[in-house]
Amino acid sequence: MDAVRTCVGCRASASRTSLLRVVASHGAVVADQSATLPGRGAWLHPTISCFESAVKRRAFARALKVDPPLDTGTLLSVLAEYEAGHQPMSPNEQAD
Q: Judge whether 89 lies within some domain.
A: no
- Provide the domain limits for residue 28: 4-84
Give the pLDDT confidence score for residue 87 in this predicted structure.
66
Q: Is residue 94 part of a domain?
A: no
Taking CA atoms, 8 is separated from 12, 20, 63, in Å, by 8, 11, 7
Flag whether 74 is in a domain. yes
Determine, yes or no, domain membership for 77.
yes
User: For residue 47, is it within any domain?
Assistant: yes
Inside any domain, residue 36: yes
pLDDT along the chain (96 residues), means of 10: 92 95 96 94 96 96 93 94 74 41
Q: What are the angstrom distances between the C-alpha of 91 and each of 17, 28, 48?
A: 20, 14, 21
CATH code for the domain of 80: 3.30.1230.10
Per-residue pLDDT, 89: 54
Residue 95 lies in a domain: no
Peptide bond into 69 cis (omega under 30): yes
The pLDDT of residue 32:
95
Question: 53: Cβ–Cβ under 8 A, 6 or more apart, which residues?
Answer: 9, 10, 59
pLDDT of residue 1: 67
Could you tell me if 2 and 15 are in contact, meaning their C-beta atoms sit under 8 angstroms apart? yes
When divided into structural domains, the chain yields a total of 1
